[in-house]
Structure 1
């Protein structure tokens, strides 16, 4: 999924003095090992399972504690999947902006999702 259409227009589009034009190109990402690639594929599959099981119950995605800013970051299912597909393709994750005021009660931790699926399978 491409989120470019959801982004605001670039205020420097076509400007020869665009500040971004002075930045160095990003270094290429190191390739994933076979083991890393398999783990990302498994996680991508899990995101689909989480969505199928939890979205009908009002869960919109997952949250993680950001170690850089010490705040919760909320990721919708589509954003999680897009980030993982980009990783598998050897690309940087697409830029995305979460909603300005996500409803924290609509997001759960990754481990909750795993436990939920385990509980469903145990019945």
Structure 2
């Protein structure tokens, strides 16, 4: 899924003094190993199942505590799937902006989502 249409216009578009023009090009995505590819496909299937089962129950996605900034990050199911799909196709994850003032009660930790699916299926 392409989120470009949802992004605000670049304030430096068409500006010859765009600060980003001084940055080095991004490193290409590192290809996944066969094991990483298999794990990503497995996780992508889980994300899609979570979206199907949990989204109608008001769970918009997952939350993670970022170890770099020590702040909770909230990811919608679609963003999770897009990031995984990008990895599978050898691309960098698409840039996305966090939602302004996310409804934090509508996001659950990954382990909670897995436990919900396991309990539902009696796994």
Q: TM-score range by the shorter chain?
A: over 0.9
Within 2, Cα distance between the matches of 1:51 and 1:8? 26
Within 1, Cα distance between the matches of 2:31 and 2:56? 36
For the pair 1:67 / 2:63, whether they are aligned, the reply is no
For the pair 1:10 / 2:3, whether they are aligned, the reply is no
* Offset at residue 12 of structure 1 (A): 1.0
Aligned Cα RMSD in Å?
A: 1.1
For the pair 1:47 / 2:47, whether they are aligned, the reply is yes
The TM-score normalised by the length of structure 1 is 0.96
* Offset at residue 17 of structure 1 (A): 1.4
How big is each residue's C-alpha offset from its partner over 1:16-38, in whole Å with a ceiling of 9 and x where there is no partner? 11111111111222211000011
Structure 1 residues without counterparts, runs of 5 or longer: none
How big is each residue's C-alpha offset from its partner over 1:87-109, in whole Å with a ceiling of 9 and x where there is no partner? 11111111111211011110000
| Runs of 4+ displaced beyond 4 Å | none
- SS of 1:15's equivalent in the other structure is coil
Within 1, Cα distance between the matches of 2:94 and 2:43? 18
Within 1, Cα distance between the matches of 2:51 and 2:73? 18
Aligned length: 123
* Offset at residue 53 of structure 1 (A): 1.2
The TM-score normalised by the length of structure 2 is 0.96
